[in-house]
A and B are shown apart, each in its own frame.
Chain A
Amino acid sequence: MVEVRRRVTIPAELDRLAEIRAVVRDVAHGCEAPADCIDDLVQAVDEAATNIIVHGYRGAQGTIELTAELVSDDIVFTLADTAPSYDPTTVPPPDLTVPPAQRRPGGMGVHLMRLATDSLVHRPRPGGGNILTLTRARARRFKEV
């Protein structure tokens, strides 16, 4: 069963990140998620939104459409934008054999997104843009650092 819990459109600006986190917290509380799940979702969505603003829009004006759903026992957040294609799921895990200066920037946020979610899926948005879906089970998941 899919229940849409929230759908908001927020300007893609760093000063609006707190508002995005507040929406995530509110939705997660409403889904009766435990504290660790709420923290993970807030972290993951914040990092995803930051990536969209910094690496997607790159300072250009735009919006982030944030949708929250409860799918069975999973909380699912979807972030849709109209920025040039940017797929954070292709950022490889950190390779310690590569000199630091040659590592891809922004990977730390993606690392945190991966640890905080059970799945992270990117797909192109029809007509242009990106759709990123983050899923986190309400119950304790098995994935660990």
Chain B
Amino acid sequence: MAMQTTIERVEAHVPITVMTLTGELDASNYLRLVDDVRPLYGAGVRHLLLDLTDLTFISSSGLVSLYSIEKVMQGQEPPDPEYGWGALHEVGRAVDDGQIQSAVQLCGVQPGVREVIERTGLDRLFRIHPDRATAVAEF
């Protein structure tokens, strides 16, 4: 199944852009996802919520894209896709050092996807909300 993304704007305490991911995020489409986020940052978006309610699968490539999106939203260049572990361990250090105030938050993460995120330690980077309403209220 291919992956589709949709974009919505939500006015809360801060203006939030919600990107909904539907389908499966794998090595065939993870770079496109990062490319989808670049123009958002360029247009001034600073608070991004990724709604993963309908994301049914994520591979290691998909995890790299999540990290890359965070980097883009910090105004930085994403890592080389081949960087793999280096990217995630860089995340760990940045979180430990208090350097990252994540501009990207997640909601609606399904159990299988969440397990993959936790198995690689990426849950340390993103604040994860149970659903969109909770995320918007707490952003």
Chain A window 118-135, contacts with chain B (Cβ cutoff 8 Å), 1 for yes, 0 for no: 000000000000000000
Known: A18-B26, A54-B27, A100-B89. A105 touches B82 (CB 8 A): yes
A137 on interface, CB distance cutoff 8 Å = no
B74 on interface, CB distance cutoff 8 Å = no
Judge whether A112 and B119 touch: CB under 8 Å.
Answer: yes
Judge whether A94 and B89 touch: CB under 8 Å.
Answer: yes
Q: B61's contact among A50, A96, A100, A101, by CB below 8 Å, is which?
A: A50
Interface of B is mostly: helix
A29 on interface, CB distance cutoff 8 Å = no
Q: A112's contact among B2, B28, B89, B116, by CB below 8 Å, is which?
A: B116
Size of the A side of the interface (Cβ < 8 Å), in residues, is 29
A7 on interface, CB distance cutoff 8 Å = no
Known: A47-B60, A145-B119. A100 touches B85 (CB 8 A): yes
B45 on interface, CB distance cutoff 8 Å = no
Chain A window 15-49, contacts with chain B (Cβ cutoff 8 Å), 1 for yes, 0 for no: 10110010000000000000100010011001100
Judge whether A53 and B1 touch: CB under 8 Å.
Answer: no
* Interface residues, chain A, with chain B CB atoms under 8 Å away: 14-15, 17-18, 21, 35, 39, 42-43, 46-47, 50, 53-54, 94, 96, 100-101, 103-109, 111-112, 115, 145
* Interface residues, chain B, with chain A CB atoms under 8 Å away: 1-2, 24, 26-28, 57, 59-61, 63-64, 82-90, 112, 115-116, 118-120
